[in-house]
Every structure is written in structure tokens, then in C-alpha cells.
Amino acid sequence: MPMSVKDMRREFSGREELIEYLREQFPEAEGEEAGATRGGRAAAERALAGVDPRRYASTRNFLDGAVTRLAPSIRHGVLSLAEVRDFVLSRVQRANDASKLILELGWREYWQRLYAQIGEGIWRDRENLKTGFRPVDYSEDLPDDIVEGRTGLACIDAFSRELRQTGYLHNHARMWVAAYVVHWRRVRWQAAARWFLTHLLDGDPASNNLSWQWVASTFSSKPYFFNRENLERFTGGRYCRECPLKGKCDFEGEYDEIAARLFPNAAMESAR
């Protein structure tokens, strides 16, 4: 069958030409950044071949840990969960050495099954907030300084830039950003979830929204938050070292002190 005039191009001399073509075709797409992560089965198989399940298990929470970077390919079905599982099991002597990675595949499976069950319900609070605040106490809009990476917090600003430029954020950084946006800035999780879906190459409505709800406490028994010591440890201190707010930032203090500052009403309830 000859090519129709409606068909989009399939032949390109290289990535530059493809980028130029797509800029013409999708002028409304947000942002100029192309990102370095390659799409496609060949690139996904190369990434899969590099997965080390044991190192993943011991280092995954660190920003420079042996994370797999498979999420965009899994999200778009370039790799199936079953293929990743079978491959990972073939790389270990004992199934237990793959348990952390298989647990994470389990989370993806869980979000997808829940999505099939609740559909657009992923956009609504699954449960009441456990923060002592009402939904109306949260702003509907995501502040510009967060999106533009100029809050003054070196960590949050770097994560915001990385998200926009690369379409990737380490899982731990996603959790810190989410907690900052929802609890320190008291923004409705939906506004921020839309921001992540715009940029993340692995942006999946179910995994993304339900994870935001987990942080916000509408899909967990308590809100997720962190302190600077935690962030400093898992980032190797790279942001805190250069941060003008070091020693006086919003994240300083013990967990109970931070909880009392962030959730004064919830703290009063539990004190009674």
C-alpha cells in the first residue's frame, strides 16, 4: 500500500533530523528539551542487559545507586513485566537476590490492576487526609517558583530542573519533591501530579497519581515527609554542600519536630 499523505515520516538520517521534524509537527508540545534517553526496544534491551539485581537491592535508595532506568520502557510496554521478571531471575543464583526488584515490578502490577478497577478515580482522593487539614486548605495551583526551579532550596531546584530537562527523576527525589510540594507548600497533589505527567518519560497516570496520594496520605495511613539528614545521606550531600539555606532550611530538625510544624492539628489530635 503506498504511503498516504496523512502518514507521518518514518525515515530519518539521525536523531537530529527526527528532533527537527518533531518540533515542526508538535509545536504545542511543552518545552524544548529533547532528553538523552533513547526510546525503542533496542535501547530497552541494552538497559535490561545492564541490570544488576543484587546491587539494585543494596543501593537503589541512593541517588547514585544502581537503579535500572527501565521505567519509561515498562510504562510504554516496550518491555513487559513478565519479560523483565524472567530476565532478572535468570541473572541471580537465588531468587531471593532478585526480591527487591521483583517487589518493584509488583508495585507496577498493583497500580495497573487498581487502575483497571477505579479508572478516573485515580484523580480523586482515595481516603481522607491524615494531616489534620481539609482538602480546601491546599492550593489548587502549583507555584511558579517550584516549576521554574527557583525556590532557593538547592535540592528542590535541582530536581525541578532535572525533571524538565531529562524527563527523569530518581524515585527518592520524586518522594522528596512530592512531600515538599504537598506538605511544606500545601498544594493539592493533583496539580503537582499533572506537572510530573507532563515531564516524566515514565509518566503513567496510575503509578504517578497513586504515588502522590501515598505521599499526601489519601492512600496511606500517614503522610510521607523527610528531614535534611535523610536527604543529605541519600544524595551524598551534593545539594546541601552548596545550598545557601544550609543549616536553616525547611527540612532541618528531628522527625517529631517537623511533624509538629507541618501538621499542628494532627499533632494536637494525637496528643489528646
Partner 1 sequence: MNPDRNHERIVWVHGDCLRPGNPALRARPDAPAIFCWDDELLREWKISFKRVLFIYECLLELPVTIRRGDVAGEVAAFADEHGATGVVTTFSPSPRFGLITSEIEKSYPVEVLPEDPFLDYPGEFDLRRFSRFWRQAESYAYRGGGEQLKLW
Among 132, 135, 205, 253, binds partner 1 (CB under 8 A): 205
Give the three-state DSSP class for 138. coil
Q: Is 58 in the site for partner 1 (CB under 8 A)?
A: no
Q: Which is nearer to partner 1, 166 or 227 (CB)?
A: 166
Least gap, CB of 194 to partner 1 (angstroms) = 7
DSSP symbol at 141: S
Task: Output the CA–CA distances (angstroms, integers) from residue 3 to 7, 8, 45, 63, in the order listed.
Answer: 6, 9, 30, 46
Instruction: Label residue 189 exposed, middle or buried (CB < 10 Å: 0-12, 13-18, 19+).
Output: buried
CA–CA–CA angle 128, 129, 132 (5° rounding)? 125
Q: Which is nearer to partner 1, 131 or 207 (CB)?
A: 207
- Of 43 and 260, which has the nearer Cβ to partner 1? 43
DSSP secondary structure code for residue 217 in this structure: T
17 near partner 1 (CB under 8 A): no
Residue 103 as a binder of partner 1 (CB under 8 A): the answer is yes
Mask: binding to partner 1, 112-141, rule CB under 8 A, as x and -?
A: xxxxxx-xx---------------------
Cα gap 169→239, rounded to integer Å: 15
Q: How many Å separate Cα 118 from the centre of its chain?
A: 21
Using alpha carbons, select from 176, 193, 179, 204 the residue that is nearest to residue 142: 193
147 binds partner 1 (CB under 8 A): no
Tell me which of 58, 80, 139, 265 binds partner 1, using CB under 8 A: 80
- 3-class state of residue 157 by DSSP: helix
Residues 18-57 touching partner 1, rule: CB under 8 A, are 18-19, 22-23, 25-26, 28-35, 37-43, 45, 48-49
Return the number of the residue (82 or 268) whose C-beta is nearest partner 1.
Answer: 82
Residue 248 Cβ vs partner 1, minimum distance, rounded to whole Å: 34
Say whether residue 144 binds partner 1 (CB under 8 A).
no
Pick the binder of partner 1 from 60, 65, 92, 105 (CB under 8 A): 105
Interface with partner 1 (CB under 8 A), residue total 75
Each as own residue / partner, the long-range contacts of residues 101-104 (CB below 8 Å, 24 or more positions apart, any chain) are 101/51, 101/53, 101/56, 101/57, 101/68
The residue (of 115 and 225) whose beta carbon lies closer to partner 1 is: 115
Residue 13 binds partner 1 (CB under 8 A): no
Q: Taking CB under 8 A as the criterion, which residues in 208-267 touch partner 1?
A: none
Considering only residues 150 to 179 of the shown chain, the ones binding partner 1 according to CB under 8 A are 164, 166-167
Terminus-to-terminus CA distance in the chain, angstroms? 75
